[in-house]
Amino acid sequence: MNRRETVAALLALGAAAGPFRVQAQPPSKVRQIGFLRIVQLAPQEDVFARELRQHGFIEGQNVVIHYRVFKAQSDLLQTMAQELVRLNVDVLVTTGPAAAVVAKQTTRSIPIVFIAANDPVRLGLVASLARPGGNITGMSWDVTPAINGKLVEMLKEVSPKLSRLAVLWNPANPGADGLYEHTKRVAEALGLKVQSLTVREMKEYDAAFAAITKERPDGLHVFANPINITNLDRIVAFAAQNAIPAVYGLTRFTEAGGLISYGPDVLDMVRRAAFQTAKILKGEKPGDIPVEQPSKFEIAVNLKTAKALGLKIPQSILARADRVIE
C-alpha cells in the first residue's frame, strides 16, 4: 500500500467510526503562593507579581497570591502563617527574620522563600548559604560593617561639627555586635564620642529617648533591625522633634522623613525572591537553591529634612545618591 492509499484508508476508517473529535486538553494547574509581608518594608506586591510574570506565572491566570500583612513582632504572625499552610499553598514567601522562623516552625513540607532574614545560618533556617537543605531558601539581609561605617562618614560630612554620636541598636539581633563594633571604630577614628543605646523590647524606647534627651548627642545612627523598623515612624519623629541629624540603614526611614539612609535595596531582593519562587514552581527543590545575599544597595537623601535641620547636603553625597526626596 502506497502513502496515498494509506491516507485514504485512514480517512475511511475515521468516517466509519463517526465524527472526529479533538480531545480537550486539561487546563493548566493554577499555582498558589502565600506571602507573609511585613508592613514596614516597602510595598512589594507589584514588584513580586511583575517578576513572576517574566517567568511565565501570571497573577489571576495561572497563579494566585494570598497576601497576609503584619507588623514586625506581631502576635498574629503565627496565626497568619497557619492560615496560609491550611490553604496548602505551593510556596510560602516571607519578609523579615521573625516571619521566616515562624514559617519554618509551621511547615516542613511546603517550600519557603524568605526575604531579608539576617544571618539565616545562625537563625537555624538553613544549613549553609550554598546548600540550604530542607524546604527553605531565600534572600539574606547580611550587611557588611562597611555600610554602617559609610553612614557615619556621611553624617560627619553633612554635619562637620558632629562630635557625639548615639547609636540605636539591638544586641540580640544576629550579627549586631560586629556591626556596632565597626560603627564605633569608624566614629572614634573621626574623633566622635559614641553613646550606645540598646533596645530589645518596645518598652525600652522611652529610656533610650530619655538618655538622648539628657546627653544631647549631635547625631544619631539607627540600625535597620526588626524592632527599629517596627518603630520607624516614632524614631524619625523623635529625631525631628529634637533636631537631631540621623542616618539609617533602610530607605523606608528616609521616606518617612529621615535624613540619610544607606542599605540593601529591598525591592531588588523581592525581585530575586520571585525568581527563586518561579524556580520552585517549575520543579526545583528549595534546599538546592543557594541563599542569595544583597547585591544592590541604595543611598537615599531627604532634602526637606536637611533644610528643616539647617543642613546642606554636599554635592559629593548627592552625586552618589540613588534617591533624592524633595
What is the pLDDT at residue 174?
77
C-alpha cell at position 55: 517567568
Q: Chain centroid to CA 47: how far? A: 12
Q: Which are the contacts of 36, defined by CB distance < 8 A and separation ≥ 6?
A: 68, 70, 77, 80, 81, 84, 92, 93, 94, 95, 99, 102, 103
- Tell me the three state secondary structure of residue 262: strand
Cα Rg, the chain, nearest whole Å:
26
In sequence order, what are the beta bridge partners of 165?
A: 194, 219
Q: Can you tell me the distance from the alpha carbon of 326 to that of 321, in angstroms, rounded to the nearest whole number?
A: 13
- Asked if 277 contacts 264 with a C-beta cutoff of 8 angstroms, the reply is no
Write down the pLDDT at residue 28: 66
The reported pLDDT for the residue numbered 145 is 85
Q: Assess contact for 218 and 166: CB atoms under 8 A.
A: no
pTM: 0.83
Query: Can you tell me the distance from the alpha carbon of 234 to that of 227, in angstroms, rounded to the nearest whole number?
Result: 11
- Grid cell in block for residue 173: 539581633
How many other CB atoms sit within 10 Å of the CB of residue 132?
Answer: 24
β partners of residue 70:
38
Residue 29 has what DSSP assignment? Answer: P
Residues ≥6 apart with Cβ < 8 Å to 303: 313, 324, 325, 326
- What's the pLDDT score for residue 40? 67
Note whether 245 and 272 are within 8 A (CB). no
Cα separation values, 174 from 55, 66, 144, 219, 289, Å: 34, 29, 13, 25, 23
pLDDT in tens, the chain (326 residues): 444 444 344 334 444 444 433 333 334 689 999 999 877 676 788 999 999 999 999 999 999 999 998 876 667 889 999 999 999 999 999 998 889 999 999 999 999 999 998 889 988 999 999 999 999 999 998 888 889 999 999 999 999 999 999 999 999 887 888 899 999 999 999 999 999 999 999 999 999 999 999 999 999 999 998 889 889 999 999 999 999 999 999 999 999 999 999 999 999 999 999 999 999 999 999 999 999 999 999 999 999 999 999 999 999 999 999 999 99
CA distances from 131 to 134, 197, 230 (A): 9, 37, 31
CA nearest neighbour of 239 among 217, 224, 207: 217
Domains and CATH numbers, the chain: 31-142+265-296 (3.40.50.2300), 145-264+298-325 (3.40.50.2300)
